[in-house]
Chains A and B, each alone.
Chain A
Amino acid sequence: MGHLIDIQHLKKHFGKLAVLNDVEFHLDKGEVVTIIGSSGSGKSTLLRCINLLEMPDAGAIYYEGKDVLQGEIDVNQHRTHIGMVFQNFNLFNNKNVIENCMIGQMKVLKRSKKEAEEKALFYLDKVGMKDFAYAGSMQLSGGQKQRVAIARALCMDPKVLLFDEPTSALDPEMVGDVLNVMKDLAKEGLTMIVVTHEMQFAKEVSTRVVFMEQGVIAEQGTSEEIFGNPKTESLQRFLSRYRNQQN
Chain B
Amino acid sequence: MQFIETAWGIFTKYSILFFSGVKITLLLAITGTVFGLMIGLVVGAIRAISLEPRSSKFSRICKKVIDWVLTVYIEFFRGTPMMVQSFFMYYGLKSIGLNWTPIVAGIVIISINTGAYMAEIVRSGIQAVDKGQTEGARSVGMSHLQTMFYIIIPQAIRNSFPSIINEFIVNIKDSSVLNVIAVNDLYFQGSSVAGSVFKYTETFFVVAMIYLCLTYPTSKILGYIEKRMANTTGKVGA
Contacts and interface: CB of A to CB of B under 8 A. Distances in A.
Given A55-B54, A134-B238, A136-B234, A92 B133 contact: yes
Given A93-B133, A94-B158, A136 B236 contact: yes
Interface stretch (B10-18, B76-84, B148-156, B190-198): B148-156
A92 B141 contact: no
A79 B238 contact: no
Interface in A86-110: 86, 88-96, 99, 103-104, 107-109
B139 interface: yes
Interface residues on B, range: 20 to 34
B53 interface: yes
A86 B132 contact: yes
B235 A94 contact: no
B150 A107 contact: yes
Contacts of B180: none
B237 interface: yes
A108 B53 contact: no
Contacts of A95: 151, 236-237
Contact of B237 (A76, A77, A88, A94): A94
A94 B155 contact: yes
Interface residues of A, number: 36
B52 interface: yes
B238 A139 contact: yes
A136 B235 contact: yes
B34 interface: no
Interface string B10-28: 0000000000000000000
B140 A55 contact: no
Given A76-B142, A104-B140, A136 B151 contact: no
Interface string A118-139: 0000000000000000111111
Contacts of A104: 137, 140-142
B140 to A, nearest CB: 3
B136 interface: yes
Interface string B50-79: 001110000000000000000000000000
Interface in B120-150: 130, 132-133, 135-143, 146, 150
B155 A76 contact: no
B53 to A, nearest CB: 5
B95 interface: no
B233 interface: yes
Contact of B234 (A93, A109, A156): A93
Contacts of A83: 139-140
A107 B151 CA distance: 12
B132 to A, nearest CB: 4
Which 9 residue pairs across A and B have the least CB separation, nearest first? A138-B234, A104-B140, A90-B136, A136-B238, A96-B237, A80-B141, A90-B132, A84-B139, A108-B141
Given A51-B139, A86-B136, A88-B132, 5 more contacts: A80-B141, A83-B139, A135-B238, A136-B238, A139-B235
